Amino acid sequence: MSGDPPALSNVAYDDLVVDERLGPFTETVSADLAGRLAGAIGTPSVVSLAPPAVFPVLFLHALRRAMGGIPAGSVLAKQELEFHGTLEVDNDVEITVWVGNKEVKRGRPFVTIEFDIRDGAGEQLVTGRKIIVWRTGPVAEASAA
């Protein structure tokens, strides 16, 4: 779709700012999206509440809008979600993302991206984090020199 940000980021590890809040970004949880992510793969369902699989998708949409997505060549090391409420379909949510931590472990740059998803009334629905082995970082760049 024209006007969409790129699917992959070119944000360098050193440019990431810990605790800088990005958003909130508004996303609509349609009945179609929720139905495609509920039940068996390839068999859309009719649902009234957003299934858990919707929330990682919402996070990725917000991350793409916040910083262009996940850098090419990066690896998702861990994902954690904490559910605080339910969401009826055909509603908007507000998503805020931020870098929770940057560290080098086992010679690799790790970035923790945190997120908060709230309904239209401001009620917290889901919080979570994704730990990503960032493609570039102080160690990767020093090794390449």
Give, rounded to a whole angstrom, the gap between the first and last alpha carbons of the chain. Answer: 38
Give yes or no for residue 133 having a pLDDT over 90.
yes
Q: What six digits make up the tokens of 124?
A: 């917290």
| 44 in Cβ contact with 75 (< 8 Å) | no
Q: Is residue 86 part of a domain?
A: yes
Q: Which residues contact 87 (CB under 8 A, 6 or more apart)?
A: 29, 49, 50, 54, 93, 119, 125
> Above 50 in pLDDT, residue 145?
no
The tens digit of pLDDT for each residue in 53-105 reads 999 999 999 999 998 888 888 999 999 999 999 999 999 999 999 999 999 98
Q: How many domains does the chain have?
A: 1
Asked whether residue 44 is domain-assigned, the answer is yes
The answer to whether position 2 is within a domain reads no
Query: Residues 54, 60: contact at Cβ < 8 Å?
Result: no
Q: What is the mean pLDDT of the chain?
A: 87
Please report the DSSP string for 39-74 in residue order.
SSTT-----SB--TTHHHHHHHHHHHHHHSSEETT-
User: Is residue 142 pLDDT above 50, yes or no?
Assistant: no
Look up the domain containing 43 and give its range: 9-144
113: domain CATH number? 3.10.129.10
The pLDDT, as a whole number, for residue 8 is 58
Residue 3 located in a structural domain: no
137: confidence class by pLDDT, cuts 50, 70, 90: confident
**Average of pLDDT values for 129-137?**
88
Q: Does residue 129 sit within a domain? A: yes
Q: Is 70 a member of any domain? A: yes
Closest CA to 114 of 50, 63, 52, 69: 63
Instruction: Evaluate whether residue 40 is within a structural domain.
Output: yes
Whether residue 55 is contained in a domain is answered as: yes
